[in-house]
Structure 1
Amino acid sequence: MGEQGPDGSNKKRKTDERVAPVTPAAPVAKTARQTAKTAAKKIAAKKTAVKGTTARGTAAKKTAAKETAKPPANESRTALVRRARRINRELAEVYPYAHPELDFDNPFQLLVATVLSAQTTDLRVNQTTPALFSKYPTPEDLAAANPEEVEEILRPCGFFRAKTRSVIGLSKALTEDFGGQVPGRLEDLVKLPGVGRKTAFVVLGNAFGRPGITVDTHFQRLVRRWQWTAETDPDKIEAAVGALFPKSDWTELSHHVIWHGRRICHARKPACGACPIAPLCPAYGEGETDPEKAAKLLKYEKGGFPGQRLKPPQAYLDAGGKPAPPLGAG
């Protein structure tokens, strides 16, 4: 039994109580802070995980959209030819009366209008040429024209000074070298001022019935999206695409591709969900795939397009919302 102190208490017991282990307050507070930090980290981790999952989900959807209806990898030359020709057949059904959208009555008018169409729209050219051809109906008339008067007429087309020099120059060349007639040979046409292969093929194909491929900006964009060629030089594109088709198809092929590029397969945001050749396109998913949203991207002029047979966007999708097999597939 321990000693008693003056107050009668047991010294040993008090000493034992003094040295008994006591949990300090500071460690408790520290543990609480650590717990809070851990919880905060977990919450942040969950948010990051959710955000990451959403981002991965969005990326996955985009990837899936691009892979939908994508032609097989390592496409053989034979498969490429078949796919390219099938695309042309489908476009022919959508645009059965595709034609040059420049107004003309003869080869001379088509030649001048095509030169004027550079860096502007066909609609703008069609609004300008009636006044030009009314005042200067023949190459001889335009060759003898006052440049300032021609510039004033061509001003709405943009680059009107350069275009004035070109149309007056080619008119003089036609008058002096070809008896006032537009030549029907490629090698003669490309010698005229302002006339390159693209312009020459437009004239040859549509004024003389001689096959040619018109490699304009729309044509270049689409054939690269369709992976018909990886070339960027217009002459090389012309050669590469021409090798995929019979020569007799070249002119109509050009019209089909250009019409499609102007109406559906736009440069910035193609209307993939309203595209009749989506099942054949490696670039499907680069644009809007939702049918209703894609339908709003379709471009029409006043009065529509003669002979154009566009269906409602949903008609090009199957029950699962994916591109349906194209017309006549099999």
Structure 2
Amino acid sequence: MGLRFIFMLTRNDRTVEDASKQLQTALRLGVRHIGFKDIGLPIDQLKSLNQAIKAGGATSYLEVVSLDRESEIVSAKAAVEIGVDILLGGTRVDDVLPIVTGSSLQYFPFPGRISGHPSVLEGTIGEIVESAKALTARDGVHGLDLLAYRSREDVPTLIRQACAAVSKPVYVAGSIDTPERIAVVKDAGAAGFTIGTAALDGKYPAPEKDVSSQLAAILRDVATLNRHISPFHKKNLANAFAHVPDTRSPTVEGQVNNMQIKLAKFAGEQAWHFRPQVDELILVHKGRLLMKFRDREEMVEAGEFIVVPHGVEHCPVAISDTCEVMLIEPGTSVNTGSAKDSGKVVELGRA
């Protein structure tokens, strides 16, 4: 699993009034982890928000910002009542665990000492790490919500040491507003991070300050860090065939898992052959191809394809002067299979 981006519908530790509108923007962009706070909107609106998050195919998070025992208990009960997937934050584990036990939600409390509003993480790195270890040793605690960027300590070191000390996932929160900070979170070994105010207020480096542009930029940067960016661009078949050197040397144009996409030019009649273990698909791009089998012959026109199963003898014949074909077959295949043919090519060219 790559680094997880959790979009918080919050500003200054409060759920924003237009959370429903911002949620739809996030869902349209494919954000799949979305959270809110337990204050800022009435509980009936938070229930509706949670339902909309789940209906959109996303995982829902509620982050507790309560600073006293009574309100934290109320917040934990609200999380169960609302039905969120994951409860973030809070420090009173002994009070919260009995409330969430038996529910389906996962619990990620704050390690360290939390004070103020917006929340601040206090204590030395050593103290926070010891707190993290003690919390994750508890049954019912599924991970940690680390307010690393609300600490006065060296943040990269804090995240790295906290992640190294526990075997459960660590989410990082608190004023993450640049690609550099996201990279720190990734490099330190955290499972994910939250961004709320920075995106809602247009503070993240992006072409525009609107929420859609902000989220798109964050998603792009996370995908880059997770190496989920495709290096491939579209190809034009006519242009690609223009670079196939001759009728005896197929060119590898791409690969899908262990299947290669090859371009070849046929001229005249090929040798009878079969492949003992692999099937192949032959798509005619230009020209006409006669496919001879032991029991029949089939004419394959431009825009048509034929599948040749393994073990089946066949003999391709180019009816036109040159027939351009696309082959989709395992990378271990050679162009004339079992045939002892002088035209057999083992080392293929690549585009």
TM-score range, shorter chain: under 0.3
> If you compute each CA radius of gyration, which structure gives the higher value, 1 or 2?
1
Structure that is richer in helix per residue: 1
RCO (CA 8 Å, sep 6+): is it higher in 1 or 2?
1
TM-score (norm 2): 0.24
